[in-house]
Amino acid sequence: MSEIIMTNPATGEKLGVKKCWTRKQILDAYKKAREKAESFKNTTIEQRIEEVRKIKRYIVENMEEIAEKISKDLGKIKSEALLMEIFPVLDCISYYEKNAKKILKDKKVRNPISLIGKKSYVFYEPLGVILVIAPWNYPFNLSFIPIISAIIAGNVVIYKPSELATYTGMLIEEILEKSGFEKGVVTVVYGRGGEIGDALIEGKPDKIFLTGSTTTGRIIMEKAAKYLIPVELELGGKDPMIVFEDVNLERATNAAVWGSLLNSGQACVAIERIYVQENVYDDFVKLVVEKVKKLRQGWNGDYDIGSMTSPDQIKIVEDHIKDAVKKGAKILVGGKRKGKSMFFPPTVLVNVNHKMKIMKEETFGPVICIMKFKDEKEAVKLANDTIYGLNASVWSDDIDRAVRIARQIKCGGVAINNALTASANFALPFGGTKQSGMGRYHGPYGLYAFSNIKAVMIEKGKKETEINWYPFGKEKYERFLTTFKSLFSEKTVDKIKGLPAMIKLMRNK
Ligand code: NAD
Domain 22-235+443-454, architecture per CATH: 3-Layer(aba) Sandwich (3.40)
Distance 331 CA to ligand 1 centre (A): 29
Residue 220 CB less than 6 A away from ligand 1: yes
E strands, 91-128, are: 107-109, 119-126
Domain 239-426, architecture per CATH: 3-Layer(aba) Sandwich (3.40)
Q: What pLDDT, on a 0 to 100 scale, did the predictor assign at position 497?
A: 87
**Atom 42 in ligand 1: residue holding the nearest Cα:** 268
Quick one: CA dihedral 373, 374, 379, 380, positive or negative? negative
Report the alpha-carbon distance of residue 348 to residue 265 in Å, rounded. Answer: 12
Report the alpha-carbon distance of residue 413 to residue 389 in Å, rounded. Answer: 9
Distances (CA, A) of 431 to 87, 362, 423: 19, 16, 9
pTM here?
Answer: 0.97
Which residues are designated catalytic? 234, 268
Residue 329 CB less than 6 A away from ligand 1: no
User: Among 293, 371, 291, which residue's Cα sits nearest to residue 328?
Assistant: 371
Q: Can you spell out the DSSP letters for 414-443?
A: EEESSSSGGGTSTTS-B--EETTEE--BSH
E strands, 90-140, are: 107-109, 119-126, 129-133
Residue 211 CB less than 6 A away from ligand 1: yes
Distance 171 CA to ligand 1 centre (A): 19
Residue 140 CB less than 6 A away from ligand 1: no
**Residue 166 CA neighbour count, 13 Å, CB half:** 22
**For each of the chain's 509 residues, which pLDDT tens digit applies?**
699 999 999 999 999 999 999 999 999 999 999 999 999 999 999 999 999 999 999 999 999 999 999 999 999 999 999 999 999 999 999 999 999 999 999 999 999 888 888 999 999 999 999 999 999 999 999 999 999 999 999 999 999 999 999 999 999 999 999 999 999 999 999 999 999 999 999 999 999 999 999 999 999 999 999 999 999 999 999 999 999 999 999 999 999 999 999 999 999 999 999 999 999 999 999 999 999 999 999 999 999 999 999 999 999 999 999 999 999 999 999 999 999 999 999 999 999 999 999 999 999 999 999 999 999 999 999 999 999 999 999 999 999 999 999 999 999 999 999 999 888 999 999 999 999 999 999 999 999 999 999 999 999 999 898 889 999 999 999 999 999 999 899 999 988 888 888 888 888 75
Report the alpha-carbon distance of residue 72 to residue 76 in Å, rounded. Answer: 7
Distance 313 CA to ligand 1 centre (A): 12
Non-local CB neighbours of 110 within 8 Å, separated by 6+ positions: 120
**Atom 12 in ligand 1: residue holding the nearest Cα:** 193
Residue 411 CB less than 6 A away from ligand 1: no
Greatest CA separation found in the chain? 89
Q: What pLDDT, on a 0 to 100 scale, did the predictor assign at position 506?
A: 81
Asked if 412 and 430 count as a contact pair (C-beta separation under 8 A), the reply is yes
Distance 483 CA to ligand 1 centre (A): 56
* CA distance from start to end of the chain: 74
Residue 432 CB less than 6 A away from ligand 1: yes
The domain limits of the chain are 22-235+443-454, 239-426, 466-507
Distance 137 CA to ligand 1 centre (A): 9
Atom of ligand 1 nearest to the CA of 163: 11
